[in-house]
Chain A
Amino acid sequence: MKIKQKLRATLLAASIAAIGATSAQAQISDNVIKIGVLTDMSSLYTDLSGKGSEFAARMAVEDFGAAKKGMKVEIISADHLNKPDVGSNLARQWYDVDKVDVIVDTPNSGVALAVNQVTREKGKAFLVSGAATAALTGKDCSPNTIHWTYDTWMLANGTGQAIVKTGGDSWFFLTADYAFGHALEGDTEAVVRKNGGKVVGKVRHPLNTQDFSSFLLQAQASKAKIIGLANAGGDTTNSIKQAAEFGIVKGGQNLAGLLVFLTDVHSLGLQTAQGLILTETFYWDANPQTRAFAKRFAAGNRGIHPTMIHAGVYSAVLHYLKAVEAGKTDDGTKVINQMKAMPTDDPLFGKGSVRQDGRKIHPAYLVEVKKPSESKGPWDYHKIRATIPADQAFRPLSEGGCPLVK
């Protein structure tokens, strides 16, 4: 017992020191625009957001030319450990003590929903790129939040619809058991049913599971044509890898990775990942601008090419700074209104807009993972099968149930 108590005290001291370290570096004056990148720096979402998101934010500040315009912009970052309580505490501390003006990124829907709430209370600004739940522009929408890159409705509609329409009409869900997984499962289920398909079963696994064989066996027994993976990051790669081992695809069932990132494909290797269908709003090899961005990004980020989350952070921070410049204020609510009033335009997502409910609108791509023979080398993984136009990619304004929409 004594050992455990001592250990607990030691761990507590260590974690307090760690939290302190992230905040100690900043002293504030009010003519500084302070951006806080709140992300996963140590666990399963690190590669697809993490340090790369911080780097993307720095690129945006640089490209905006803040220094030349005489604007002082600071960026800090912290690890939310995928825990909503840690995330909301960090957000509070950033807003109250460290005078952070805007929080960006925040993968993990559970954490994002918590920070969404805190940001609204404090009248600051929250630009979500990493989290997926469409509730952020639905029942939990806020005048202080913009949901930038993608959401569960878009994923469900893009991937789900494409699969149901090509004959995949009975589904079994493998769902990560937290806000994001539930949202993605729910949205996809709605799409499947709307298009005449049915859901024959589902199983909810804890976040960050290593072994999926038991769940895959249940999916196999269900005889569903499609096994929908409503999870992300390491959970998705492990599911796909082990599904191959258990001969799921050979047995005639197909996998639908509802949220698969470029980094996941890289981690799986094309041999395992080939043929997967997925939806994303950014692919680095789409045009000369995106390629130029990817080259700069990879150079500063261990060679990792940008995921749509990284691109979204860049684009969101750029538009935020433009809005601050135009509105001459960094008051959270006012900047968000300014961001909604101005059309968006950047090299990665092209022209777009931000809707009243906080939804950023741009096209989405339905892509297929290349065969090893089609790929020219590392990171050449996706081929774009179809483009979903901006006005169809996201949930219609009227269907979200956002109280801000009148």
Chain B
Amino acid sequence: MEIFGVPSQALFGQLLIGLINGSFYALLSLGLAVIFGLLNIINFTHGAQYMLGAFCAYLLLNNLGIGYWWSLALAPIIVGITGVIIERTMLSKLYKLDHLYGLLLTFGLALIIQGLFRNEFGSSGLPYRIPQELQGAQNLGFMFLPNYRAWVIVVSLVVCLATWYVIERTKLGAYLRAATENPQLVQAFGINVPRMITLTYGFGVALAAFAGVMAAPIYQVNPLMGADLIIVVFAVVVIGGMGSIMGAIVTGFGLGIIEGLTKVFYPEASNTVIFVIMAIVLMFKPAGLFGTQK
């Protein structure tokens, strides 16, 4: 059976691949949405923090012999701590100002971090191997699915849904959301709002680093790996609606699929299709698909 001249079996494979790439978009846009939704900071350093996660895994392995599994836990913590430091020393000074200042600060930071890593490690990337347990692949009949990719999809779904649950359905999440609406009032109830906000930024950054560790075995560990991705991820967040957690997750996966299909039908356009969709969505729903106008 063929669909638009493409065998349907091949199409299933492409859908699955799209979903896998969508997992990365979802993980990254989730972090951005959390940070924007709760701190009102447009975190342009996100791509660099994703890259830092991958490098952290690489350096842990090559300098200390710490493998993938421990890195999956350690790298987000280490990079998350750097995030906390950035928030305490720099971002916290900007909350009262226009969004633009946060954007420029984080954009500048991203350029500095990427520049430093490029100087130190060059641009062609460093190898990082798939952990022993996840090597190999399954033959699904319609495609050959590497075990590692299956792992990526499962883990990112779990992480995304858990994050959504914590923020939208638990008491902690309720505090967080309340603190962004009215920090004074929440503080009056005896909750340490500044600390909560710092930890939220740290968490968002840790999510980026987590995605970086997940990406290290598939893509080369490269100082510029986040630079291109961040633009796409921002488009995902804008389409989903700035600050909407569910929006970020759903559009992340959805756009991964759309991009995957473009790679079959018109590959030349595969790196522009997301922006075309963004333009269309903004024309009809300026607040994004899941966003609400404030």
Q: Which residues of A contact B (CB under 8 A)?
A: 3, 6-7, 10, 42-48, 50, 177, 203-206, 208-211, 213-215, 217-218, 220-221, 233-234, 237-238, 241-242, 245-247, 251, 263-264, 266-269, 271-272, 302, 304
Contact = CB atoms under 8 A, between A and B. Distances in A.
Contacts of A46: 118, 122-124
A47 B125 CA distance: 9
A234 B263 contact: no
A243 B225 CA distance: 19
Interface in B96-118: 98-100, 103-104, 118
Interface residues of B, number: 43
A-B pairs, 5 with minimum CB distance: A46-B123, A214-B263, A269-B127, A267-B124, A47-B124
A242 B264 CA distance: 17
Given A246-B137, A263-B124, A3 B100 contact: yes
A234 B144 contact: no
Interface in B183-223: 218-220, 222
Given A42-B118, A247-B146, A267 B125 contact: yes
B111 to A, nearest CB: 9
B258 to A, nearest CB: 12
Contacts of B7: 221
Nearest to A208: B228
A221 B130 contact: no
Contacts of B260: 214
Contacts of A233: 124
B220 A234 contact: yes
Interface string B154-170: 00000000000000000
Contacts of A208: 228
Contacts of A271: 127, 129
Contacts of B122: 46-47, 263, 302, 304
12 contacts: A6-B100, A42-B123, A44-B124, A46-B122, A204-B267, A214-B264, A220-B144, A234-B125, A246-B146, A247-B146, A251-B144, A302-B122
Contacts of B263: 203, 205, 214-215
B189 to A, nearest CB: 33
Contacts, number: 120
A206 B268 contact: yes
A7 B104 CA distance: 8
B17 interface: yes
A217 B100 contact: no
B17 to A, nearest CB: 5
Nearest to A263: B124
A43 B137 contact: no
A46 B123 CA distance: 6
B146 A234 contact: no
B37 interface: no
A217 B13 contact: yes
Nearest to A248: B144
A264 B10 contact: no
Nearest to B20: A213
Contacts of B125: 234, 237, 267
Contacts of B18: 214
Given A47-B123, A220-B144, A267-B125, 18 more contacts: A42-B123, A46-B118, A46-B124, A47-B122, A205-B263, A205-B267, A205-B270, A206-B268, A214-B18, A214-B260, A234-B123, A234-B220, A237-B124, A241-B218, A241-B220, A245-B148, A263-B124, A266-B124
- B118, B225, B270: which has the most chain A beta carbons within 10 Å? B270
A216 to B, nearest CB: 9
B143 interface: yes
B261 to A, nearest CB: 9
Contacts of A267: 124-127, 220
A238 B224 CA distance: 13
A245 B130 contact: yes
B218 A245 contact: yes
Contacts of A42: 118, 123, 224
Contact of B124 (A6, A48, A218): A48
Given A43-B224, A214-B17, A10 B104 contact: yes
A271 B124 CA distance: 17
Contacts of B104: 7, 10
B149 interface: yes
B92 interface: no
Contacts of A211: 17, 21, 218-219
Contact of A210 (B137, B225, B267): B225
Counting chain B CB atoms within 10 Å of each CB, the highest count among A42, A214, A217, A241 belongs to A214
B124 A221 contact: no
Contacts of A3: 98-100, 103
Contacts of B292: none
Contacts of A7: 100, 103-104
A217 B143 contact: yes
A273 B193 CA distance: 52
B229 interface: yes
Given A6-B100, A217-B13, A302-B122, A209 B271 contact: yes
Given A46-B122, A205-B267, A238 B219 contact: yes
Nearest to B137: A247
Nearest to A205: B267
B14 interface: yes
B14 A214 contact: yes
B229 A210 contact: yes
A215 B127 CA distance: 21
A358 to B, nearest CB: 29
B10 A221 contact: yes
Contacts of A238: 219-220
Interface in B1-18: 7, 10, 13-14, 17-18
Given A42-B123, A218-B264, A210 B148 contact: no
A220 B10 CA distance: 10
Most chain B CB inside 10 Å of its own CB: which residue of A217, A220, A246: A217
A227 to B, nearest CB: 14
A45 to B, nearest CB: 8
